[in-house]
């Protein structure tokens, strides 16, 4: 028994970039997509456990079991049956953490898939899960499926490779250009360059898209450091990944996310850009 499933359309391009090096980032968020997201999660889990060089081969025992959802090393994490709220409990997360450190049975990897992650996780359990997500044992992977990543903490989102299948609106060229200037400002040794680039956020119509594009560029850089190919702005990602550590990039992603929330609260734009410039610089220079 085997499967003929292959990612198509937008997913195919994303997966090609992510798996081009033959390695997987340790964590994914698949946003939107319904049945396609579920199939893609199985495809990624098969990639992780496949025993052949051309992954996923779709016909080895590990692949067949992965697609059949019967693989001993692939766990679909669900709430306890006793949980009235149908959410993951702290005890369930503790069990998962303990299990992650147990060696796999039939392959060299273990995969944990969270269906409906935006509804089964509470803020408390996300924080309990965060330490494992940040520093998982070797060969352990996480796949979080959700309708909207807005239900997940920024600290969770920033540590995962994002795959959006929900048809998120395209970022217009003007916002992309502004985001590239901000990214170059972050790289620049001149604080003035960054402050000047951040002034583009004064355009309230474009501001949210600009920060979304900045976040995608930073994600690209983290992807490069994980050994995979950048999918959004490869040249900028390469520059950022050679200049900053993974931790610094993740801190910048979290800062960018928090700034998006401040924009919605109508914070004074001059104050925001000054704060952003200072915080990007602080992260850049910290040891």
* pLDDT of 7 strictly over 90: no
Provide the residue count of the chain.
287
Tokens of 59: 């016909």
Return the exposure string of 23-37: e unless at least 16 CB atoms fall within 10 Å of the residue's CB, then b: ebbbbbbbbbbeebb
Q: Which residue has the higher pLDDT, 223 or 77?
A: 77
- The whole model's pTM is what? 0.68
Judge contact between 223 and 161, C-beta under 8 A.
yes
Whole-angstrom CA distances from 58 to 47, 49, 260 are 9, 11, 41
At 143, phi and psi to the nearest 5?
-130, 120
pLDDT digits (tens, 9 = 90+) for 49-98: 998 888 888 899 999 999 999 999 999 999 877 666 688 999 999 999 99
Residue 155 scores a pLDDT above 60: yes
> By percentage, how much of the chain surpasses pLDDT 90?
48
Mean pLDDT of 39-48: 92
Structure tokens given for 154: 């920024």
Average pLDDT for the chain: 86
Higher pLDDT, 61 or 224: 61
pLDDT on residue 6: 66
Which pLDDT score is estimated for 1?
Answer: 44
Strands of the sheet containing 27-31, edge to edge, are 74-76, 110-114, 140-146, 27-31, 161-164
Average confidence (pLDDT) over 30-36 = 83
Confidence of residue 129 (pLDDT cuts 50, 70, 90): very high
Over residues 10-20, the mean pLDDT reads 60
| pLDDT higher than threshold 60 for residue 217 | yes
- Choice between 200 and 205, residue whose per-residue pLDDT is larger: 200
Beta bridge partners of 161: 28
Dihedral sign computed on CA atoms, order 188, 157, 229, 217: negative
């Amino acid at each position: 028994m085997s499967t003929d499933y292959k990612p198509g359309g937008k997913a195919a391009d994303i997966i090609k970039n992510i798996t081009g090096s033959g390695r997987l980032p340790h964590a994914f968020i698949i946003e939107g997509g319904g049945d396609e997201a579920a199939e893609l999660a199985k495809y990624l889990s098969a990639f992780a456990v496949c025993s052949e060089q051309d992954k996923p081969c779709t016909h080895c025992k590990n692949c067949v079991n992965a697609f059949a959802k019967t693989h001993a090393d692939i766990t679909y994490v669900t709430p306890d049956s006793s949980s009235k709220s149908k959410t993951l409990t702290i005890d369930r997360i503790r069990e998962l953490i303990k299990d992650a450190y147990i060696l796999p049975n039939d392959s060299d990897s273990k995969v944990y898939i969270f269906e409906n992650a935006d509804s089964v996780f509470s803020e408390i359990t996300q924080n309990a899960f965060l330490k494992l997500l940040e520093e998982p044992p070797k060969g352990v992977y996480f796949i979080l499926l959700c309708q909207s990543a807005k239900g997940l903490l920024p600290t969770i989102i920033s540590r995962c490779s994002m795959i959006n299948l929900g048809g998120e609106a395209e970022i217009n060229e003007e916002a992309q250009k502004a985001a590239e200037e901000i990214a170059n400002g972050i790289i620049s040794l001149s604080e003035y360059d960054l402050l000047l680039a951040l002034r583009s956020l004064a355009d309230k119509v474009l501001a949210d898209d600009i920060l979304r594009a900045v976040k995608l560029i930073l994600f690209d850089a983290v992807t490069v450091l994980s050994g995979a190919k950048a999918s959004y702005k490869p040249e900028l990602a390469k520059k950022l990944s050679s200049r900053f550590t993974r931790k610094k990039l993740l801190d910048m992603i979290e800062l960018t996310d928090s700034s998006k929330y401040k924009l919605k609260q109508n914070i004074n734009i001059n104050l925001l850009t000054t704060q952003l410039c200072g915080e990007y610089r602080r992260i850049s220079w910290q040891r």
